[in-house]
A and B are shown apart, each in its own frame.
Chain A
Amino acid sequence: MGELFAAIDAPASVWQFIIIGLVTGALYALIALGYTMVYGIIELINFAHGDLFMLGSFLALQVAVTLGAATADDGAIGMVAIALMLVTAPLFCAGLNVAVDRIVYRPLRNAPKLAPLVSAIGVSFIFMNIGLFWRGATDVNFPNLIPPTNLLEGTGLRFTAKDAMVIGVTVPTMVALTVFVRYTSLGKAMRATAQNPTAAQLMGIGVDRVIALTFALGGALAGIASVVYGLYNNTVSYQMGFQNGLYAFTAAVLGGIGNIPGAVLGGLVIGLVKALGDAYVGAQWSEALVFAILIVILIFRPTGILGARTREKV
């Protein structure tokens, strides 16, 4: 965040902070979408989601390094690398997420709710350890493949091609996801499973298959987010999964967990609070501010901003 502020040439206006907030918020929202999909269907707080996202970014980095995109001056190689990352990272994360569901969560489908939650924490630990072996304990540079062209040149504000990329990926993804869940038959099956797995099964829906599909989608979203995150921040580390997973989870809950537009709204709120907090309260307090606002919102609206009141299961 620091170097971003330094790069602003005009006196920083509140609009600049709002732009920064919206862009980082869109990034959190992208991660939160995967979180909320999985929660929506099996009510599992998937603590491993952030670490899956971290592994995705390591894979994307591996692709870039293998192609030599980090050192090449040729922009074309960079474009090829980005395209390849956007294919491999989501596939990798989706496959991994489905495998984890099959091996770890599926045997616990009828267990008390704590069991899959604790298992998710376990998976998160294992992913973190893999990340640690893969890239070590320190921050790793992610190649800077997108030129820092300012698209708002002359207005005194800064909105670079990178910022545009984040918005340009998040918004269509959210729209596509909403359309998928609302209007396709698979989406209908997902909603039915979320409502009542047993009834869905009786209606001829392959519940396990639908859940696997949700994990695949959630994983793919984590993969896309990991590429966008790497290209945007140019630094990745084995611990970033925890930090960003936490923000994403907070975004999902803030907006009303299981609710797709809610996750995006929550992400944007967090991004804005954090950017404005960085600017006007102090960077060391802005994270605390995010969680304070989360607590306050939950006290007054216990199911999140857009969350529907769930029926008490007796």
Chain B
Amino acid sequence: MTWTAPFRYWLLAVLVLVVAYPLIPGSNPILGQQLVPLVCYAILALGLNVVVGYTGLLHLGIAAFFGIGAYVTGILTVPMFPFQQSFLVAVIASTVIASAVGVVTTAPTLRLRGDYLALVTLGFGLITTFAIRNLDNITDGTKGLNPVSPNLLPWVDDPDLTKFDRPTGWAATWRGYPYFYYICVGLLVLVMWLLRNLERSRLGRNWVALREDELAATCMGLNPARLKLSAIAAGAALAGLAGALYAVSQRTTAGPQAYDFNRSMITLCCVILGGLGSRPGVLVGVFLLLGYDTILTPYLDNQIQLLQINPNGKSYLKVSGWRLFVFGLALIVMMRFRPAGLLPAWRVRHELQPANANESAKPVEPTTGA
């Protein structure tokens, strides 16, 4: 994405709106509550984007790292275990452990290519879900660990911070959450900034080289195994961070089904819809697809119920009944007409342009050497 001036202003406007939202008197706390998981999913999708978008490794099990992050946070904070750690410790531990698991599980499979690697990541994701479901005495099986409510930061005594919340009207229904909302948004901005720097760093450019042509990149002296591992480590770390935030925002790790293959698939859809390799694109993809799924559909269904359009509860008269159909159609139409995504990455867009479009910018008049 070229950071043209109008786009930069748009982004700034969105950021201001997001920051100011809880401060607007009478702003809807329910919507705020729904925004926090979206921020978590955005971080997860940005992590997947490092693996699939930058490095070109098709990973079908990213939700496993999301789950590992959530469950590490759960284990470190719920009363069932003796650890009782603070938010900061939980988040750092989740990020590091998810990343380490990513490296350890991927290292033996680096020899695999393309579809086979995709299948192995899928298998790993499934095994993780089974493990979460079956290790009853660690994960509490299908119920999930709760309540996850750590002290948000070690130096904050009162996690509810009611004195800051009161003027906004959020405090009564949603104790302490604007505070957490800001932590999540702040972390998202931090992740975006880190990824921006990473993308422009030597490592980021090496990843892209690997994606474009592994053979050529290897011939130029890059070490593909190490590059792939570093991408997996970074992606898994972000997914772990997202999982930790998700568990805290939900006050429970949620059951294993929150981290199953569907989650991986939907996250992949978000990344592809927004634009592989494009950070703003990934955010747009997440907020469009998951915003539709988690905010718009329940709202519309509620309206349908209020207006009594669907008295018999027929599933095809509910917006949520068409959920999979809409996702599927969106993917097919995107692939057909805009395969690089809604906001394609700068590099991808240039690749898709015809060759002479680039050359026409250069002076083509031959200089006559007199």
Binding site for B on A (CB under 8 A): 43, 45, 104, 107-108, 111-119, 121-126, 128-130, 132-133, 136-137, 242, 246, 249-250, 253, 257, 284-285, 287-288, 291-292, 294-295, 298-299, 302-303, 312, 314
Contact = CB atoms under 8 A, between A and B. Distances in A.
B259 to A, nearest CB: 14
Contacts of B325: 125-126, 129-130
B331 A125 contact: yes
A116 B124 CA distance: 23
A153 B133 CA distance: 39
B321 interface: yes
B324 A128 contact: yes
A246 B330 CA distance: 23
B123 A291 contact: yes
A14 to B, nearest CB: 24
A112 B120 contact: no
11 contacts: A104-B332, A104-B336, A107-B336, A108-B336, A113-B114, A118-B334, A123-B332, A249-B119, A285-B134, A298-B116, A298-B120
B179 interface: no
A200 to B, nearest CB: 22
B126 to A, nearest CB: 5
A116 B118 CA distance: 15
B127 A291 contact: yes
A311 B122 CA distance: 24
A288 B127 contact: yes
Contacts of A122: 327-332, 335
For A122, A253, A292, A299, the residue with the greatest tally of chain B CB atoms inside 10 Å of its CB is A122
Contacts of B330: 122
A114 B276 CA distance: 11
B58 A294 contact: no
Given A295-B124, A299-B108, 13 more contacts: A104-B336, A118-B335, A121-B331, A124-B328, A129-B321, A246-B126, A284-B134, A288-B130, A288-B131, A288-B134, A294-B119, A295-B109, A302-B112
Contact of A285 (B108, B115, B126, B130): B130
Contacts of B268: 118, 121
Given A121-B269, A298-B109, A299-B109, A111 B119 contact: no
Contact of B111 (A117, A246, A299): A299
B316 interface: yes
Interface in B328-353: 328-332, 334-336, 339
Nearest to A39: B115
B119 A126 contact: no
B315 interface: yes
Contacts of A291: 123-124, 126-127
B339 A123 contact: no
B215 interface: yes
Contacts of B119: 249-250, 253, 294, 298
Contacts of A136: 315
Nearest to B331: A122
A287 B328 contact: no
Interface in B222-269: 261, 265, 268-269
A287 B126 contact: yes
B335 A294 contact: no
Contacts of A108: 335-336
B7 interface: no
B272 interface: yes
Contacts of B331: 118-119, 121-122, 125
B322 interface: yes
Nearest to A252: B119
A126 B329 CA distance: 7
A43 B115 contact: yes
A154 to B, nearest CB: 39
A299 B123 CA distance: 13
Contacts of A137: 315
B274 to A, nearest CB: 13
Nearest to B316: A133
Contacts of B205: none
A108 B331 CA distance: 13
A280 to B, nearest CB: 16
B323 interface: yes
Nearest to B323: A129
A314 B215 contact: yes
B321 A132 contact: yes
A111 B315 CA distance: 36
A111 B330 CA distance: 18
Counting chain B CB atoms within 10 Å of each CB, the highest count among A107, A129, A133, A292 belongs to A129
Interface centre among A118, A312, A314 (most CB of B within 10 A): A118
Interface string B290-332: 0000000000000000000000000110000111110111111
Contacts of B127: 288, 291-292
A74 to B, nearest CB: 35
A109 to B, nearest CB: 12
Contact of B324 (A125, A253, A294, A299): A125
A312 B215 CA distance: 10
Nearest to A299: B108
Contacts of B329: 122, 126
B42 to A, nearest CB: 20
A169 to B, nearest CB: 27
B114 A115 contact: no
B228 to A, nearest CB: 15
